[in-house]
Structure 1
Amino acid sequence: MSGRILVPYDDSGPAEKALEYAFETFPDAAVTALYIVPIPAGYWAAFGDAGELGAEQGREHGEEILENAMTIATEYDRELETEIDTGKPAQTIVDRVEEGEFDTITIGSHGREGVSRILLGSVAEMVVRRSPTTVIVVR
């Protein structure tokens, strides 16, 4: 079905399930785990050098989280590309798909941040509403 799958990954239980689902369901697809440092546009710029430090710490944290995703890939004997981006998570995910790099998004129903909605987290819901490609929501 899909040649390239994007899995937004934040080390939450639903994100892990989404990654596992991608490996199990699409054995021949190239899978990319994406961690997004959730920084609103222009926020860190207001703090000068301190903002750059905060963004850098966010990227370092993302690298640690993606190491956990690599562990899951090893358990499934699969290769996994990892990427870190910065921005508003839902918009960043949709932007990446609009660039044409991915055929499918496999996303956890909710992540670590904010209060979850009844069925979907706010990021998952926004991605489902705005994505130009197939979105699989895993619970």
Structure 2
Amino acid sequence: MYNRQRGSLSLEAGLVMAIFLVLLMLFYGVVYGYRSQKIAFEVATLFVLEKNTEVLTEKDFDRKLNSPLIKVEKGYVFKAMNRLEEEFSYNVNGFSYPLEEVVFITDYGKMYHLPGCPTVKKSLRPVIKKDVPHLTPCSLCHK
């Protein structure tokens, strides 16, 4: 007589292994796809911000980020900005004060510094220059 139990274990193991590998590939595809999509959006946003020093609105972001190279659903793109209703400005120094100079101060100093000043290493706080009229400019970074 013919024994049907002989090849059953290898057949079941093969099917289980194939299903496991398909699920594993699906998991990694979703995880790494989401990560690469997130990284691409962050890089695109930084590119838009670095190339624009004027006032940017949500419409500007929508127009500039609407590219065939960046296919991200609108819900993900503007999730962080859905409460933003007013225009905000972005200056070259990274702060939203285009007409006012941003300088850095320490907690104990009597001078204000530019971002790359070699005299101070830690505890720099950004402030608007007009808010600290009692401080003098640093002699090294304000030459």
TM-score normalised per structure 1: 0.24
* Larger RCO, structures 1/2 (Cα 8 Å, 6+ apart): 1
Greater Rg, structure 1 or structure 2?
A: 2
- Larger strand share, 1 or 2: 1
TM-score normalised per structure 2: 0.23
